[in-house]
Structure 1
Amino acid sequence: MVCVQITVDGRPGVLLADPGYHVPRVVTVMADRAYPHTGWFTQSDEPQCRKEYSYAFSPHNGSYVEWRERETRGATVKCQTSLVYVARPYLDGVNVTERRNLVYNFRSLLARDQKGHLIAGLYFPVGGRGKDAQFTLFFDSGTEKQKTKYKFNTFIDPDTIPDSISEEVELCNAQMNYKEGELRNIICKLAKVLSNQSFIDQVLEINDDICRLCL
Protein backbone atom coordinates (compact mmCIF):
# COMPACT_ATOMS: atom_id res chain seq x y z
CA MET A 1 0.00 0.00 0.00
CA VAL A 2 1.10 3.54 -0.79
CA CYS A 3 -0.05 6.47 1.35
CA VAL A 4 0.66 10.06 0.31
CA GLN A 5 -0.13 12.93 2.64
CA ILE A 6 -1.78 15.86 0.87
CA THR A 7 -3.14 19.32 1.64
CA VAL A 8 -5.98 20.92 -0.33
CA ASP A 9 -6.48 24.62 0.48
CA GLY A 10 -5.02 24.00 3.91
CA ARG A 11 -7.19 20.92 4.49
CA PRO A 12 -5.22 17.77 5.33
CA GLY A 13 -5.81 14.38 3.78
CA VAL A 14 -4.15 11.32 2.28
CA LEU A 15 -4.17 9.40 -0.97
CA LEU A 16 -4.30 5.61 -0.58
CA ALA A 17 -3.31 3.24 -3.36
CA ASP A 18 -2.93 -0.50 -3.03
CA PRO A 19 -2.11 -1.99 -6.44
CA GLY A 20 -1.17 -5.32 -4.86
CA TYR A 21 -4.60 -5.71 -3.32
CA HIS A 22 -8.04 -5.63 -4.95
CA VAL A 23 -8.99 -1.93 -4.93
CA PRO A 24 -8.24 -0.78 -8.50
CA ARG A 25 -8.35 2.94 -7.74
CA VAL A 26 -6.68 5.68 -5.75
CA VAL A 27 -8.79 6.62 -2.73
CA THR A 28 -8.82 10.20 -1.46
CA VAL A 29 -9.38 10.58 2.28
CA MET A 30 -9.93 14.13 3.56
CA ALA A 31 -9.96 14.86 7.27
CA ASP A 32 -13.10 17.01 6.92
CA ARG A 33 -14.72 14.45 4.55
CA ALA A 34 -15.40 17.22 2.02
CA TYR A 35 -14.44 17.28 -1.68
CA PRO A 36 -12.39 15.53 -3.05
CA HIS A 37 -13.09 12.90 -0.36
CA THR A 38 -13.99 9.60 -2.08
CA GLY A 39 -16.53 8.36 0.46
CA TRP A 40 -18.51 5.18 -0.17
CA PHE A 41 -17.97 3.40 -3.47
CA THR A 42 -18.98 0.04 -4.93
CA GLN A 43 -16.03 -2.31 -5.05
CA SER A 44 -17.85 -5.22 -6.68
CA ASP A 45 -21.45 -5.89 -7.66
CA GLU A 46 -22.30 -9.48 -8.53
CA PRO A 47 -25.66 -11.28 -8.46
CA GLN A 48 -24.82 -13.05 -5.21
CA CYS A 49 -22.90 -10.31 -3.43
CA ARG A 50 -22.30 -6.57 -3.48
CA LYS A 51 -19.32 -5.06 -1.66
CA GLU A 52 -19.04 -1.38 -0.80
CA TYR A 53 -16.03 0.33 0.76
CA SER A 54 -15.44 3.59 2.56
CA TYR A 55 -12.22 5.13 3.86
CA ALA A 56 -12.28 7.95 6.42
CA PHE A 57 -10.10 9.26 9.22
CA SER A 58 -11.01 7.76 12.56
CA PRO A 59 -12.94 10.22 14.75
CA HIS A 60 -11.15 8.71 17.76
CA ASN A 61 -7.56 8.94 16.51
CA GLY A 62 -6.40 10.90 13.47
CA SER A 63 -3.39 8.62 13.09
CA TYR A 64 -5.68 5.97 11.62
CA VAL A 65 -7.92 5.70 8.58
CA GLU A 66 -10.96 3.49 9.07
CA TRP A 67 -11.65 1.13 6.18
CA ARG A 68 -15.32 0.19 6.33
CA GLU A 69 -16.66 -2.71 4.31
CA ARG A 70 -20.36 -3.33 3.70
CA GLU A 71 -21.23 -6.70 2.17
CA THR A 72 -24.79 -7.34 0.99
CA ARG A 73 -26.04 -10.84 0.20
CA GLY A 74 -29.76 -10.77 -0.50
CA ALA A 75 -31.39 -9.29 2.59
CA THR A 76 -28.32 -9.86 4.76
CA VAL A 77 -25.89 -6.99 5.30
CA LYS A 78 -22.55 -7.61 6.99
CA CYS A 79 -20.30 -4.74 8.06
CA GLN A 80 -16.75 -4.70 9.35
CA THR A 81 -14.06 -2.11 10.02
CA SER A 82 -10.29 -2.31 9.63
CA LEU A 83 -7.63 0.28 10.41
CA VAL A 84 -4.81 1.73 8.30
CA TYR A 85 -2.06 3.52 10.24
CA VAL A 86 -1.06 6.66 8.31
CA ALA A 87 0.85 8.77 10.84
CA ARG A 88 4.33 7.40 10.13
CA PRO A 89 6.13 5.73 7.21
CA TYR A 90 5.40 2.03 6.82
CA LEU A 91 8.89 0.63 6.33
CA ASP A 92 8.74 -3.01 7.33
CA GLY A 93 5.87 -5.12 6.05
CA VAL A 94 7.48 -8.38 7.14
CA ASN A 95 7.26 -7.56 10.84
CA VAL A 96 3.61 -6.52 10.65
CA THR A 97 1.58 -7.64 7.66
CA GLU A 98 3.28 -10.90 6.76
CA ARG A 99 3.39 -12.22 10.31
CA ARG A 100 -0.28 -11.39 10.79
CA ASN A 101 -1.21 -13.21 7.60
CA LEU A 102 0.57 -16.37 8.71
CA VAL A 103 -2.32 -17.20 11.04
CA TYR A 104 -5.23 -15.48 9.28
CA ASN A 105 -8.28 -17.76 9.12
CA PHE A 106 -9.24 -17.10 5.50
CA ARG A 107 -6.92 -17.84 2.60
CA SER A 108 -7.12 -17.06 -1.10
CA LEU A 109 -5.02 -17.47 -4.22
CA LEU A 110 -6.33 -15.14 -6.92
CA ALA A 111 -5.64 -13.83 -10.39
CA ARG A 112 -6.93 -10.39 -11.39
CA ASP A 113 -6.97 -8.29 -14.53
CA GLN A 114 -5.44 -4.82 -14.81
CA LYS A 115 -8.60 -3.24 -13.38
CA GLY A 116 -8.55 -5.45 -10.29
CA HIS A 117 -11.41 -7.70 -11.38
CA LEU A 118 -11.18 -11.36 -10.43
CA ILE A 119 -10.33 -13.77 -13.22
CA ALA A 120 -9.70 -17.10 -11.53
CA GLY A 121 -8.47 -18.65 -8.31
CA LEU A 122 -9.48 -20.38 -5.13
CA TYR A 123 -10.36 -19.41 -1.58
CA PHE A 124 -11.25 -21.18 1.65
CA PRO A 125 -11.81 -20.63 5.36
CA VAL A 126 -9.30 -22.24 7.68
CA GLY A 127 -11.14 -24.30 10.25
CA GLY A 128 -13.07 -27.07 8.53
CA ARG A 129 -12.40 -30.21 10.50
CA GLY A 130 -10.66 -33.05 8.68
CA LYS A 131 -12.75 -34.38 5.82
CA ASP A 132 -15.09 -31.35 5.99
CA ALA A 133 -12.39 -28.85 4.95
CA GLN A 134 -13.22 -27.49 1.51
CA PHE A 135 -12.34 -24.73 -0.93
CA THR A 136 -14.06 -22.84 -3.73
CA LEU A 137 -12.47 -22.95 -7.18
CA PHE A 138 -13.58 -20.39 -9.75
CA PHE A 139 -12.68 -19.46 -13.32
CA ASP A 140 -14.22 -18.07 -16.49
CA SER A 141 -15.87 -20.88 -18.46
CA GLY A 142 -16.37 -18.66 -21.51
CA THR A 143 -20.02 -17.82 -20.93
CA GLU A 144 -20.00 -17.21 -17.19
CA LYS A 145 -17.85 -17.37 -14.09
CA GLN A 146 -17.94 -20.93 -12.78
CA LYS A 147 -17.66 -21.61 -9.04
CA THR A 148 -17.37 -25.09 -7.55
CA LYS A 149 -16.69 -26.32 -4.02
CA TYR A 150 -14.34 -29.26 -3.50
CA LYS A 151 -13.24 -31.12 -0.40
CA PHE A 152 -9.53 -30.99 0.29
CA ASN A 153 -9.40 -34.69 1.12
CA THR A 154 -10.07 -35.38 -2.58
CA PHE A 155 -6.54 -34.09 -3.20
CA ILE A 156 -4.69 -36.00 -0.47
CA ASP A 157 -3.56 -38.58 -3.05
CA PRO A 158 -2.85 -36.96 -6.45
CA ASP A 159 -3.25 -40.32 -8.21
CA THR A 160 -6.89 -40.70 -7.13
CA ILE A 161 -8.19 -37.28 -8.18
CA PRO A 162 -11.12 -37.80 -10.61
CA ASP A 163 -10.39 -36.74 -14.19
CA SER A 164 -13.33 -34.33 -14.27
CA ILE A 165 -11.96 -32.44 -11.26
CA SER A 166 -8.42 -32.43 -12.65
CA GLU A 167 -9.73 -30.90 -15.87
CA GLU A 168 -11.42 -28.03 -14.02
CA VAL A 169 -8.31 -27.41 -11.94
CA GLU A 170 -6.24 -27.24 -15.13
CA LEU A 171 -8.67 -24.74 -16.69
CA CYS A 172 -8.25 -22.55 -13.62
CA ASN A 173 -4.49 -23.19 -13.69
CA ALA A 174 -4.25 -21.84 -17.24
CA GLN A 175 -6.20 -18.67 -16.42
CA MET A 176 -3.86 -18.04 -13.50
CA ASN A 177 -0.87 -18.33 -15.85
CA TYR A 178 0.70 -21.18 -13.91
CA LYS A 179 2.81 -23.92 -15.39
CA GLU A 180 0.91 -27.10 -16.18
CA GLY A 181 -0.02 -28.96 -13.00
CA GLU A 182 1.21 -26.21 -10.66
CA LEU A 183 -2.17 -25.32 -9.18
CA ARG A 184 -2.99 -28.97 -8.56
CA ASN A 185 0.32 -29.39 -6.72
CA ILE A 186 -0.49 -26.37 -4.55
CA ILE A 187 -3.92 -27.76 -3.67
CA CYS A 188 -2.43 -31.17 -2.84
CA LYS A 189 0.06 -29.56 -0.48
CA LEU A 190 -2.72 -27.54 1.15
CA ALA A 191 -4.74 -30.73 1.61
CA LYS A 192 -1.90 -32.30 3.58
CA VAL A 193 -1.44 -29.21 5.75
CA LEU A 194 -5.16 -28.92 6.51
CA SER A 195 -5.36 -32.61 7.42
CA ASN A 196 -3.11 -31.87 10.42
CA GLN A 197 -5.88 -30.91 12.84
CA SER A 198 -3.52 -30.21 15.74
CA PHE A 199 -1.65 -27.63 13.65
CA ILE A 200 -4.87 -26.01 12.41
CA ASP A 201 -6.21 -25.76 15.96
CA GLN A 202 -3.05 -23.93 17.03
CA VAL A 203 -3.29 -21.53 14.08
CA LEU A 204 -6.91 -20.71 14.89
CA GLU A 205 -6.12 -20.20 18.56
CA ILE A 206 -3.38 -17.68 17.72
CA ASN A 207 -5.72 -15.90 15.30
CA ASP A 208 -8.43 -15.67 17.96
CA ASP A 209 -5.92 -14.22 20.43
CA ILE A 210 -4.93 -11.52 17.92
CA CYS A 211 -8.58 -10.68 17.23
CA ARG A 212 -9.25 -10.28 20.95
CA LEU A 213 -6.27 -7.93 21.26
CA CYS A 214 -7.80 -5.73 18.56
CA LEU A 215 -11.15 -5.33 20.33
Structure 2
Amino acid sequence: MASPDESLTEFFPKYNPPIRAHKYTCVGLGMEVMKRLKVLEKDFPGITKSMMLVSCDENIEDLIDYTTSFPGPQGFLIETEKDHVLVGFHVRVAGRPGVFLSDLGYHISRVVTVMADRCYPHTGWFTQSDEPHCRKEYSYQFNVHNPSYVEWHERETRGDKVKERLSLVYVTKAYLSAVAVTEKRNLVWDLRSLLARDPKGHLTAGIYFPLKKKDQQFTMFFDGVNGKQRKKLKFDSFLELQKIPDEVVDEVEQCNDQLRLRDGELLSVLKRLATIMTDEEYMTELLGINDKIVQLSAGT
Protein backbone atom coordinates (compact mmCIF):
# COMPACT_ATOMS: atom_id res chain seq x y z
CA MET A 1 0.00 0.00 0.00
CA ALA A 2 2.94 2.31 0.64
CA SER A 3 4.34 1.99 -2.88
CA PRO A 4 3.04 4.61 -5.34
CA ASP A 5 4.73 2.95 -8.33
CA GLU A 6 3.72 -0.69 -7.90
CA SER A 7 0.38 -2.43 -7.63
CA LEU A 8 -0.30 -5.29 -5.22
CA THR A 9 -0.68 -7.61 -8.22
CA GLU A 10 2.88 -6.74 -9.30
CA PHE A 11 4.30 -6.81 -5.77
CA PHE A 12 2.79 -10.04 -4.46
CA PRO A 13 4.60 -12.62 -6.71
CA LYS A 14 8.05 -11.43 -5.63
CA TYR A 15 7.26 -10.83 -1.95
CA ASN A 16 9.06 -13.11 0.49
CA PRO A 17 6.91 -13.14 3.66
CA PRO A 18 8.65 -13.06 7.04
CA ILE A 19 7.63 -15.27 9.94
CA ARG A 20 6.75 -12.84 12.71
CA ALA A 21 7.13 -13.82 16.36
CA HIS A 22 3.82 -13.93 18.28
CA LYS A 23 1.90 -13.37 15.02
CA TYR A 24 2.03 -16.93 13.77
CA THR A 25 -0.05 -18.71 11.17
CA CYS A 26 0.11 -22.51 11.02
CA VAL A 27 3.56 -22.19 9.38
CA GLY A 28 5.08 -20.16 12.20
CA LEU A 29 3.37 -22.28 14.85
CA GLY A 30 4.82 -25.44 13.29
CA MET A 31 8.31 -23.95 13.24
CA GLU A 32 7.94 -22.75 16.83
CA VAL A 33 6.83 -26.12 18.18
CA MET A 34 9.73 -27.85 16.41
CA LYS A 35 12.16 -25.37 17.96
CA ARG A 36 10.75 -25.92 21.43
CA LEU A 37 10.68 -29.72 21.17
CA LYS A 38 14.42 -29.83 20.56
CA VAL A 39 14.89 -29.83 24.35
CA LEU A 40 13.61 -33.43 24.28
CA GLU A 41 16.67 -34.58 22.31
CA LYS A 42 18.53 -35.58 25.48
CA ASP A 43 15.75 -37.91 26.65
CA PHE A 44 14.71 -39.04 23.16
CA PRO A 45 17.82 -39.11 20.94
CA GLY A 46 16.97 -38.59 17.28
CA ILE A 47 13.73 -36.69 17.84
CA THR A 48 15.17 -33.48 16.33
CA LYS A 49 16.02 -35.20 13.05
CA SER A 50 12.67 -36.98 12.90
CA MET A 51 10.59 -33.78 13.22
CA MET A 52 9.34 -32.20 10.01
CA LEU A 53 6.71 -29.89 8.64
CA VAL A 54 4.16 -31.84 6.61
CA SER A 55 1.72 -30.38 4.10
CA CYS A 56 -2.04 -30.63 4.07
CA ASP A 57 -4.58 -30.27 1.26
CA GLU A 58 -7.99 -29.37 2.63
CA ASN A 59 -11.40 -30.21 1.19
CA ILE A 60 -10.48 -33.27 -0.88
CA GLU A 61 -13.23 -34.10 -3.37
CA ASP A 62 -12.02 -37.38 -4.95
CA LEU A 63 -10.04 -39.38 -2.40
CA ILE A 64 -9.22 -42.39 -4.60
CA ASP A 65 -8.18 -40.31 -7.59
CA TYR A 66 -5.97 -38.09 -5.44
CA THR A 67 -4.19 -40.91 -3.61
CA THR A 68 -3.70 -43.33 -6.51
CA SER A 69 -2.77 -41.10 -9.45
CA PHE A 70 0.76 -40.42 -8.15
CA PRO A 71 2.85 -41.78 -5.25
CA GLY A 72 3.23 -38.23 -3.89
CA PRO A 73 1.65 -34.81 -4.37
CA GLN A 74 3.82 -33.70 -7.29
CA GLY A 75 1.17 -34.45 -9.90
CA PHE A 76 -1.32 -32.22 -8.09
CA LEU A 77 0.82 -29.18 -7.31
CA ILE A 78 -0.89 -27.08 -9.96
CA GLU A 79 -4.36 -27.90 -8.70
CA THR A 80 -3.94 -27.70 -4.93
CA GLU A 81 -3.45 -24.82 -2.54
CA LYS A 82 -1.28 -26.50 0.12
CA ASP A 83 -2.85 -24.04 2.51
CA HIS A 84 -2.06 -25.80 5.79
CA VAL A 85 0.92 -27.38 7.54
CA LEU A 86 1.39 -29.59 10.60
CA VAL A 87 4.37 -31.08 12.44
CA GLY A 88 4.93 -34.81 11.89
CA PHE A 89 7.15 -37.49 13.48
CA HIS A 90 7.46 -41.04 12.15
CA VAL A 91 7.44 -43.62 14.96
CA ARG A 92 7.43 -47.36 15.51
CA VAL A 93 5.60 -48.99 18.40
CA ALA A 94 6.80 -52.57 18.90
CA GLY A 95 7.80 -52.55 15.23
CA ARG A 96 4.43 -51.19 14.07
CA PRO A 97 4.67 -48.02 11.94
CA GLY A 98 2.84 -44.85 12.79
CA VAL A 99 3.13 -41.10 12.92
CA PHE A 100 2.65 -38.38 15.54
CA LEU A 101 0.91 -35.23 14.32
CA SER A 102 0.93 -31.88 16.11
CA ASP A 103 -1.49 -29.31 14.67
CA LEU A 104 -1.36 -26.03 16.56
CA GLY A 105 -2.67 -24.23 13.48
CA TYR A 106 -6.06 -25.84 14.14
CA HIS A 107 -5.50 -25.48 17.89
CA ILE A 108 -5.50 -29.20 18.65
CA SER A 109 -4.31 -29.48 22.23
CA ARG A 110 -2.99 -33.03 21.91
CA VAL A 111 -0.44 -34.85 19.81
CA VAL A 112 -2.46 -37.20 17.60
CA THR A 113 -1.15 -40.75 17.19
CA VAL A 114 -1.90 -42.37 13.83
CA MET A 115 -1.02 -46.07 13.65
CA ALA A 116 -0.99 -47.87 10.30
CA ASP A 117 -2.92 -50.83 11.77
CA ARG A 118 -5.34 -48.45 13.63
CA CYS A 119 -4.66 -50.30 16.89
CA TYR A 120 -3.47 -48.92 20.25
CA PRO A 121 -2.17 -46.24 20.74
CA HIS A 122 -4.08 -45.01 17.67
CA THR A 123 -6.08 -41.91 18.70
CA GLY A 124 -9.19 -42.43 16.55
CA TRP A 125 -12.16 -40.08 16.82
CA PHE A 126 -11.97 -37.35 19.45
CA THR A 127 -13.93 -34.18 20.26
CA GLN A 128 -11.94 -31.12 19.24
CA SER A 129 -14.50 -28.57 20.48
CA ASP A 130 -17.95 -28.77 22.00
CA GLU A 131 -19.73 -25.41 22.12
CA PRO A 132 -23.50 -24.96 22.66
CA HIS A 133 -24.01 -24.15 18.97
CA CYS A 134 -21.41 -26.45 17.39
CA ARG A 135 -19.47 -29.65 18.09
CA LYS A 136 -16.38 -30.58 16.06
CA GLU A 137 -14.92 -34.08 16.00
CA TYR A 138 -11.69 -35.15 14.27
CA SER A 139 -10.18 -38.47 13.25
CA TYR A 140 -6.90 -39.35 11.50
CA GLN A 141 -6.02 -42.58 9.69
CA PHE A 142 -3.58 -43.77 7.04
CA ASN A 143 -5.09 -44.02 3.56
CA VAL A 144 -5.51 -47.67 2.55
CA HIS A 145 -4.50 -46.99 -1.08
CA ASN A 146 -1.42 -44.90 -0.37
CA PRO A 147 0.29 -44.86 3.07
CA SER A 148 2.08 -41.65 2.12
CA TYR A 149 -1.16 -39.88 3.06
CA VAL A 150 -3.00 -39.54 6.34
CA GLU A 151 -6.71 -38.83 6.02
CA TRP A 152 -8.03 -36.11 8.32
CA HIS A 153 -11.78 -36.46 8.82
CA GLU A 154 -13.77 -33.62 10.37
CA ARG A 155 -17.38 -33.96 11.55
CA GLU A 156 -19.21 -30.73 12.45
CA THR A 157 -22.59 -30.96 14.19
CA ARG A 158 -24.89 -27.94 14.44
CA GLY A 159 -28.23 -28.93 15.91
CA ASP A 160 -29.50 -31.79 13.77
CA LYS A 161 -27.24 -30.92 10.81
CA VAL A 162 -23.97 -32.80 10.34
CA LYS A 163 -21.32 -31.62 7.87
CA GLU A 164 -18.24 -33.69 7.04
CA ARG A 165 -14.95 -32.64 5.50
CA LEU A 166 -11.90 -34.59 4.33
CA SER A 167 -8.31 -33.37 4.10
CA LEU A 168 -5.09 -35.21 3.24
CA VAL A 169 -1.74 -34.85 5.02
CA TYR A 170 1.34 -35.95 3.07
CA VAL A 171 3.68 -37.53 5.62
CA THR A 172 6.36 -39.34 3.61
CA LYS A 173 8.65 -36.34 3.10
CA ALA A 174 9.17 -32.96 4.73
CA TYR A 175 7.37 -29.99 3.19
CA LEU A 176 10.07 -27.55 2.10
CA SER A 177 7.89 -24.77 0.65
CA ALA A 178 5.93 -23.81 3.77
CA VAL A 179 6.95 -20.14 3.69
CA ALA A 180 7.09 -19.62 -0.09
CA VAL A 181 3.74 -21.34 -0.71
CA THR A 182 1.56 -21.75 2.39
CA GLU A 183 2.51 -18.63 4.36
CA LYS A 184 2.31 -16.54 1.22
CA ARG A 185 -1.03 -18.03 0.17
CA ASN A 186 -2.55 -17.24 3.56
CA LEU A 187 -1.64 -13.55 3.23
CA VAL A 188 -4.45 -13.10 0.71
CA TRP A 189 -6.96 -15.47 2.32
CA ASP A 190 -10.41 -13.89 2.35
CA LEU A 191 -11.17 -14.71 5.99
CA ARG A 192 -9.09 -13.01 8.68
CA SER A 193 -9.00 -13.50 12.43
CA LEU A 194 -7.16 -12.52 15.59
CA LEU A 195 -7.98 -15.01 18.33
CA ALA A 196 -7.12 -16.11 21.86
CA ARG A 197 -7.59 -19.67 23.08
CA ASP A 198 -7.21 -21.50 26.35
CA PRO A 199 -4.72 -24.40 26.80
CA LYS A 200 -7.37 -26.83 25.50
CA GLY A 201 -7.71 -24.91 22.24
CA HIS A 202 -11.12 -23.41 23.07
CA LEU A 203 -11.82 -19.90 21.81
CA THR A 204 -11.93 -17.28 24.56
CA ALA A 205 -11.81 -13.91 22.75
CA GLY A 206 -11.03 -12.31 19.43
CA ILE A 207 -12.20 -10.80 16.18
CA TYR A 208 -12.87 -12.37 12.77
CA PHE A 209 -14.22 -11.12 9.46
CA PRO A 210 -14.49 -11.94 5.76
CA LEU A 211 -12.81 -9.64 3.28
CA LYS A 212 -15.49 -7.88 1.22
CA LYS A 213 -15.78 -4.86 -0.99
CA LYS A 214 -19.09 -3.84 0.60
CA ASP A 215 -20.86 -4.25 3.95
CA GLN A 216 -17.51 -4.48 5.73
CA GLN A 217 -17.98 -5.58 9.31
CA PHE A 218 -16.33 -7.84 11.85
CA THR A 219 -17.43 -10.02 14.75
CA MET A 220 -15.88 -9.43 18.17
CA PHE A 221 -16.34 -11.83 21.08
CA PHE A 222 -15.12 -11.89 24.66
CA ASP A 223 -16.17 -12.76 28.21
CA GLY A 224 -18.19 -9.88 29.67
CA VAL A 225 -19.77 -9.36 33.09
CA ASN A 226 -22.93 -11.03 31.78
CA GLY A 227 -21.17 -14.00 30.18
CA LYS A 228 -20.05 -14.52 26.59
CA GLN A 229 -20.49 -11.43 24.43
CA ARG A 230 -20.62 -11.48 20.63
CA LYS A 231 -20.90 -8.20 18.71
CA LYS A 232 -21.08 -7.37 15.01
CA LEU A 233 -19.47 -3.99 14.30
CA LYS A 234 -18.90 -1.97 11.13
CA PHE A 235 -15.33 -1.13 10.19
CA ASP A 236 -16.13 2.40 9.05
CA SER A 237 -17.15 3.34 12.59
CA PHE A 238 -13.47 2.94 13.58
CA LEU A 239 -12.07 5.38 11.03
CA GLU A 240 -12.21 8.23 13.55
CA LEU A 241 -11.40 7.05 17.06
CA GLN A 242 -12.87 10.12 18.77
CA LYS A 243 -16.31 9.31 17.32
CA ILE A 244 -16.50 5.74 18.63
CA PRO A 245 -19.15 5.41 21.39
CA ASP A 246 -17.69 4.97 24.87
CA GLU A 247 -19.58 1.68 25.29
CA VAL A 248 -17.91 0.23 22.19
CA VAL A 249 -14.47 1.44 23.30
CA ASP A 250 -15.02 -0.29 26.64
CA GLU A 251 -15.95 -3.57 24.91
CA VAL A 252 -12.90 -3.35 22.63
CA GLU A 253 -10.70 -2.81 25.68
CA GLN A 254 -12.19 -5.90 27.37
CA CYS A 255 -11.46 -7.94 24.25
CA ASN A 256 -7.99 -6.38 24.05
CA ASP A 257 -7.14 -7.55 27.57
CA GLN A 258 -8.40 -11.08 26.90
CA LEU A 259 -6.30 -11.19 23.73
CA ARG A 260 -3.33 -10.30 25.96
CA LEU A 261 -2.43 -7.29 23.82
CA ARG A 262 -0.78 -4.06 24.91
CA ASP A 263 -3.11 -1.31 26.14
CA GLY A 264 -4.96 0.20 23.21
CA GLU A 265 -3.44 -2.18 20.65
CA LEU A 266 -6.71 -3.74 19.45
CA LEU A 267 -8.28 -0.32 18.94
CA SER A 268 -5.25 0.69 16.88
CA VAL A 269 -5.45 -2.51 14.83
CA LEU A 270 -9.13 -1.92 14.11
CA LYS A 271 -8.45 1.63 12.94
CA ARG A 272 -5.70 0.43 10.58
CA LEU A 273 -7.98 -2.33 9.29
CA ALA A 274 -10.78 0.17 8.71
CA THR A 275 -8.40 2.35 6.69
CA ILE A 276 -7.27 -0.62 4.58
CA MET A 277 -10.80 -1.83 3.98
CA THR A 278 -11.86 1.56 2.60
CA ASP A 279 -9.12 1.42 -0.06
CA GLU A 280 -11.25 0.04 -2.89
CA GLU A 281 -8.38 -0.40 -5.35
CA TYR A 282 -6.28 -2.35 -2.84
CA MET A 283 -9.20 -4.56 -1.77
CA THR A 284 -10.11 -5.31 -5.39
CA GLU A 285 -6.55 -6.40 -6.13
CA LEU A 286 -6.26 -8.49 -2.95
CA LEU A 287 -9.54 -10.32 -3.55
CA GLY A 288 -8.59 -10.75 -7.21
CA ILE A 289 -5.35 -12.52 -6.26
CA ASN A 290 -7.26 -14.80 -3.89
CA ASP A 291 -9.79 -15.61 -6.62
CA LYS A 292 -7.02 -16.51 -9.06
CA ILE A 293 -5.45 -18.90 -6.56
CA VAL A 294 -8.82 -20.56 -5.94
CA GLN A 295 -9.44 -20.90 -9.68
CA LEU A 296 -5.97 -22.30 -10.25
CA SER A 297 -6.37 -24.88 -7.49
CA ALA A 298 -9.72 -25.93 -8.94
CA GLY A 299 -8.14 -26.45 -12.34
CA THR A 300 -10.30 -23.81 -14.02
Deviations 1:129-155 (A, max 9, x none): 33x111111111145221111111111
SS at match of 2:274: helix
Partner of 1:31: 116
Instruction: Give the paired residue count.
Output: 213
| Counterpart-to-counterpart distance in 1, 2:294 and 2:159 | 28
Query: Where in structure 2 are there 5+ consecutive unaligned residues?
Result: 1-29, 31-86
Q: CA deviation at 1:45?
A: 0.8
Pick the aligned partner of 2:100 from 6, 12, 15.
Answer: 15
Matched, 1:146 2:234: no
Matched, 1:104 2:189: yes
| Counterpart-to-counterpart distance in 1, 2:291 and 2:142 | 26
| Counterpart-to-counterpart distance in 2, 1:41 and 1:213 | 34
Q: Between the two structures, name the one with larger relative contact order (CA 8 Å, sep ≥ 6).
A: 2
Deviations 1:25-84 (A, max 9, x none): 110112233332212211111111111112222345432323222222223333323332
Query: Where in structure 1 are there 5+ consecutive unaligned residues?
Result: none
| Counterpart-to-counterpart distance in 1, 2:208 and 2:274 | 13
Partner of 2:172: 87
Q: Structure 1 residues 149, 25: closer, same or farther in 2, change over 3 A?
A: same
Partner of 2:268: 185
The TM-score normalised by the length of structure 1 is: 0.88
**Matched AA of 1:96:** V
Q: Structure 1 residues 48, 56: closer, same or farther in 2, change over 3 A?
A: same
| Counterpart-to-counterpart distance in 2, 1:189 and 1:164 | 20
SS at match of 1:23: coil
Q: Structure 1 residues 213, 77: closer, same or farther in 2, change over 3 A?
A: farther
| Between 101-110 and 91-100, the greater mean CA deviation after superposition | 91-100
Q: Structure 1 residues 81, 194: closer, same or farther in 2, change over 3 A?
A: farther
| Counterpart-to-counterpart distance in 2, 1:160 and 1:172 | 19
| Counterpart-to-counterpart distance in 2, 1:136 and 1:75 | 25
**Matched AA of 2:219:** T
1:188-207 aligned at under 5 Å gives the runs 188-207=271-290
**Normalized per residue, which structure has more strand?**
1
Pick the aligned partner of 2:154 from 69, 79, 85.
Answer: 69
Partner of 1:45: 130
Q: CA deviation at 1:122?
A: 0.8
What percent of counterpart residues are identical?
Answer: 57
SS at match of 2:147: coil
Q: CA deviation at 1:6?
A: 1.0
Pick the aligned partner of 1:161 from 244, 247, 251.
Answer: 244
| Counterpart-to-counterpart distance in 1, 2:278 and 2:113 | 44
**Normalized per residue, which structure has more helix?**
2
Q: CA deviation at 1:23?
A: 0.6
Q: CA deviation at 1:85?
A: 2.4
Q: Which has the larger radius of gyration?
A: 2
SS at match of 1:69: strand
